Chains A and B, each alone.
Chain A
């Protein structure tokens, strides 16, 4: 945790971690007894699903939800489906949790291998949606969003994480084939690689144009990269995809490259693991591995009221159970001891202005947070720039009153999104 400097006039400078080039290869976490996968479709017990508990699955086998829904997961292990249940995640995400008891003998499903000769967007969307790095094929297929530029993030989105940097450095050939495949299946010619200064040389090996990104947080957030690398400011309320730019992680591109080159779907997710002392190490674990298995591999003892975080310290998400599985977009796992957890308080804003000085989007946070606390979300969105927020978390980091400012902002955006959807449905 980075504490406020004694010389208080200096703004806190949070720097991204540079990849430790002397570090060894990622530690491979041994296969666990049970994996859980999240299928992106709300579970109804009456649905006629295409698989059920007790079915055997092979590694690489695609499990499609039903005839009418195209949502699927690809099994990273060989085994038997032990349970299928509804799962409600953060911010209204409703999925189906499929748990598989792992069998020791691995059998590879070769449905995908037969299709790699002729890469197309359909094949990619139908098989590669859940590969490590979480590529977004639906964006390319969407006729409303005319994507003309792809930016490959060789930088990591949050502090402490070095996952994408590792992929850029050691898997540059896969990234190169991934770029080739992307160009072929999407027809987009303009592909850039965003890399940190110390990996610019390695990134050039990908064949695409390299642009260096600053090492100060939050320079690698998409909205800020749009501004610094492409010179475009995303209007409040719109996304980068609305402006035709798609951000995809280097790991996703490498996964696409390896998939089409070798005919097998990759399952090992590279993760930066940060233990209670702040020591980082790179690991590779199968998608679906419960986080408890990873903690056991590192002999980390969890006591009550500790905190386990998927993602980085500024933009991650805390998980509630040691059985929670790692997913395709889990770039880091952090463990925090109770003694190091800064607690949030219910004090109101004291108008000190620390958040104003640190906000990269120039939002009048002191007034915005007062409206958000009162539940006045529409006024906050119309007059106090709620949608300009790029969700970096710096405001909550410096707040003297220890207000959960980012939490208020994300809740407001979520509630407004629900209101808009409800109005549209009821119209």
Chain B
């Protein structure tokens, strides 16, 4: 008996297609890299500092909470690093260190680990972190105030603040191509629209995010903005302006399709994306915040399980 070799006796199936959580996380970070590098290039080493601090502290907070809750260490799956990375992309480049440390704590621990870790979070952890910080320290998220000492060669007025307070005449200096190419102030990784779109297309193409959510989110923004613009062109900006400003693009490709907080079936994904897009525009045009992406996506995360009930019936289901 002792001379018999011990074989692995596990259960069918014996093949796997090779996908893993770590490859998803790392590819999402790679897709976000063009936008982040552009932001670091624009805002300098302070932006690099914010990004590095966010990624490191997200990993540190996840490691600490793993130890405190006596669970196996999960920083290897790259999800904490991704949360830190995306969180940094939304922040202004002048964010103080304590804002980044607190924000990553809220995102990783309160946004993800109190629900049981990866897969258990009903809300997008990055947006939980950002929303709580925006409500607590809203002056640090006022881009006009935060980036007041920067002059990058184009109009440094935050586009969404300009349109909210001055209407369409206030944004005449912005051209659609300029907005797409990053000629706007904003979050570190949220301004370079072309980089975000290319990264998003790469992720959709590789199958790491679902096109249904991204496309319906952008369609929701586009159509609602267009309707508002038709109704009152002096007050409300056109659809392309709204697509390329604020967190719309990063929300479409990196925030809304977060696996655990988004639906899995086809029609629910469309409802979720379109709902988030419409809510974003309602907040932008009628609400008190200049950008509605954060709260719109969080709201749709709330109703995500109900949406997911719209699915085909199982084979042979006995009603």
Which A residues lie at the B interface, using CB under 8 A? Answer: 1-4, 6-9, 12, 223, 227, 233-238, 302-309, 311, 313-323, 334, 336, 338, 341-342, 344, 346-354, 356, 360-364, 366, 385, 387-388, 390, 393-394, 396-402, 404, 406-407, 410
Contacts and interface: CB of A to CB of B under 8 A. Distances in A.
B264 A321 contact: no
Interface string B1-41: 00011111111111111111100100000000000000000
A361 B7 contact: no
B10 A307 contact: yes
A347 B207 CA distance: 20
A397 B15 CA distance: 6
Interface residues of B, number: 49
Contacts of A406: 11-13
B289 interface: no
Given A316-B12, A348-B117, A353-B264, 20 more contacts: A7-B207, A8-B207, A304-B6, A304-B7, A305-B7, A307-B7, A307-B14, A314-B14, A318-B14, A319-B9, A320-B7, A323-B4, A342-B14, A342-B18, A348-B116, A348-B120, A350-B260, A353-B210, A361-B314, A361-B316
B118 interface: yes
B228 to A, nearest CB: 33
Contacts of A321: 4, 7
20 contacts: A2-B17, A3-B17, A8-B207, A306-B8, A318-B8, A318-B9, A320-B7, A334-B14, A336-B14, A342-B15, A344-B10, A348-B116, A348-B117, A350-B259, A351-B262, A352-B264, A360-B315, A398-B17, A400-B19, A401-B21
Contacts of A397: 13, 15-17
Contacts of B312: 362
A213 B208 CA distance: 33
A303 to B, nearest CB: 7
B206 interface: yes
B21 A347 contact: yes
Contact of A385 (B12, B77, B262, B317): B317
A314 B264 contact: no
Given A303-B5, A388-B314, A404 B11 contact: yes
B7 A347 contact: no
Nearest to A391: B12
Contacts of B313: 362
B204 interface: yes
